[in-house]
């Protein structure tokens, strides 16, 4: 049976390696606790370190609470706790909003101000294009183990916040101009931060070539078709045929993987009313956009300074590297001592991600030799033997 206990707030400690940014949500969570009470307990390990509920703890402190409800995860081991801490945050990202139902729900409140909890009364379009809440890259320079781990749990960016890289847009716009004989000076882009595409003054010569919020794509297509506005719109390939089904449009499911400026990676296609066809596969357009998308991805890659460790330090990644390249290594208990960080790392607030070991001089020498051999194998080009050569070897071996 799950047991919830009231615990002095001072007995709880935030997890030092918590990878989630939560400061922006504290005010809203505090408002929720003030309005409805502390309905979701904090989860902590047996030492009082937070497993789930860092934002609730900050909100409780903001409200001046002395005690908070806590569930102690005594049934979980250390690895399970670390996994649960990440999973608890990750699964919440996988849910999305049905905006039409959300609007209806928000209209029915008279006594409770839902703005207090982060719901804005103005057009959702402003929220779709809001960059203010984006956080800096939480990857750590030189900490490849930690960065690789973060990659596995990378949050999925919303497709309603897809700022198009300039090179990608130009590739599309140039193709549209050439394919349909339209001057690029006639192209307009009404989907910008704070913009209102419905309030835009469209001339009969205008052509909308832009990347709209994908969640209201059908609404946008219907509007343009009703107003006889020419358009060539970016769209997610996987759900392409579900958009604008009742409209006279052409679908181009190019399926180009585009990394947008907010980090969202979307298999991209296009929907247009410039074409007489219903469905087209255009290899030329695919290749042009793919080339531009690849070029943008290369620009995004930045070289992070790499840290190296003394031979006397051993991490799990080092062991994995040796195994991958055919090297054995055995370390005995009396030859090593577990550590979480080097003294030199403390000032920089760095650590050995996942922990490591200090080795004796003898073990360190063996480790260095194994690493060197593995590196040589990794760097070497291994030429294969032909069947003729194998036959000679077989003859020589008799």
Most confident of 21-30, 55-64, 140-149: 55-64
pLDDT of residue 7: 92
Q: Are 45 and 51 in contact (CB under 8 A)?
A: yes
CA separation for the pair 223, 262 (Å, rounded):
27
CA separation for the pair 377, 291 (Å, rounded):
34
Please report the DSSP string for 175-239 in residue order. HHHHHHT--GGGEE---STT--GGGS---TT-EEEE---GGGHHHHHHHHHHTT-EEEEEEEGGG
Mean pLDDT of the chain: 81
Tokens matching residue 15: 């997890």
pLDDT in tens, 265-315: 888 999 999 999 999 999 999 999 999 999 988 887 654 455 678 889 998
* Residues facing 63 on adjacent strands: none
Q: Where are the alpha helices (DSSP H) in the chain?
A: 26-36, 54-62, 78-93, 99-107, 124-128, 144-152, 166-180, 217-226, 283-300, 316-324, 343-346, 361-379, 387-396
CA separation for the pair 124, 195 (Å, rounded):
11
pLDDT in tens, 315-327: 888 888 888 888 9
Tokens matching residue 302: 């930045």
Residue-range domains of the chain with CATH: 4-121 (3.90.1530.10), 166-300 (no CATH), 313-379 (no CATH)
pLDDT of residue 129: 38
CA separation for the pair 261, 295 (Å, rounded):
13
148: pLDDT strictly greater than 70: no
Looking at the chain, the whole-number percentage of residues with pLDDT higher than 70 is: 78
**Band of pLDDT at residue 130, cut at 50, 70 and 90:** very low
pLDDT of residue 41: 92
pLDDT of residue 128: 38
Of residues 58, 62, 22, 56, the one with CA closest to residue 41 = 56
Looking at the chain, the whole-number percentage of residues with pLDDT higher than 90 is: 33
pTM of the predicted structure, to 2 decimals: 0.42
Give the lowest-confidence range in 89-98, 127-136, 146-155, 177-186. 127-136
Q: Are 99 and 216 in contact (CB under 8 A)?
A: yes
Nearby residues of 330 by Cβ (< 8 Å), 6 or more positions away: none
pLDDT of residue 377: 78
**Mean pLDDT of the 370-375 span:** 87
125: pLDDT strictly greater than 50: no
C-beta neighbour count of 267 within 10 angstroms: 15
pLDDT in tens, 212-267: 988 888 999 999 999 999 999 999 888 888 888 889 999 998 889 888 877 778 88
């Amino acid at each position: 049976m799950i047991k919830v206990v009231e615990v002095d707030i001072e007995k709880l400690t935030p997890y030092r390696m918590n990878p989630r940014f939560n400061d922006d949500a504290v005010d809203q969570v505090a408002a929720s606790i003030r309005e409805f009470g502390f309905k979701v307990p904090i989860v902590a390990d047996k030492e009082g370190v937070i497993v789930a509920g860092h934002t609730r703890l900050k909100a409780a402190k903001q409200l001046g609470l002395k005690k908070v409800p806590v569930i102690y995860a005594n049934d979980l081991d250390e690895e399970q706790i670390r996994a649960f801490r990440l999973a608890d945050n990750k699964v919440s990202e996988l849910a999305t909003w049905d905006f039409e139902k959300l609007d209806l729900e928000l209209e029915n409140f008279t006594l409770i101000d839902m703005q207090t909890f982060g719901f804005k009364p103005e057009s959702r379009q402003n929220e779709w294009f809001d960059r203010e809440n984006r956080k800096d890259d939480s990857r750590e320079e030189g900490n490849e183990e930690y960065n690789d781990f973060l990659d596995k749990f990378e949050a999925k960016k919303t497709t309603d916040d897809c700022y198009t890289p300039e090179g990608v847009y130009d590739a599309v716009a140039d193709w549209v101009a050439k394919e349909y004989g339209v001057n690029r000076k006639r192209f307009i882009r009404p989907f910008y931060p704070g913009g209102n595409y419905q309030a835009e003054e469209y001339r009969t010569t205008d052509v909308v070539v832009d990347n709209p919020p994908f969640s209201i794509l059908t609404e946008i297509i219907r509007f343009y078709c009703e107003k006889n506005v020419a358009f060539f719109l970016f769209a997610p390939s996987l759900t392409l045929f579900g958009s604008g089904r009742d409209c006279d449009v052409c679908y181009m499911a190019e399926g180009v993987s585009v990394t947008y400026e907010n980090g969202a990676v979307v298999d991209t296609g296009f929907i247009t009313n410039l074409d007489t066809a219903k469905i087209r596969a255009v290899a030329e357009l695919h290749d042009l956009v793919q080339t531009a998308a690849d070029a943008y991805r290369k620009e995004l890659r930045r070289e992070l300074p790499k840290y190296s460790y003394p031979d006397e330090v051993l991490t799990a990644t080092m062991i994995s590297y040796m195994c991958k390249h055919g090297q054995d290594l055995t370390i005995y208990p009396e030859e090593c001592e577990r550590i979480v960080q080097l003294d030199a790392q403390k000032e920089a607030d760095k650590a050995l991600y996942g922990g490591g070991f200090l080795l004796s001089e003898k073990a360190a020498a063996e480790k260095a030799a194994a690493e060197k051999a593995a590196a040589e194998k990794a760097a070497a080009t291994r030429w294969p033997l032909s069947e003729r050569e194998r036959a000679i070897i077989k003859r020589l071996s008799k």
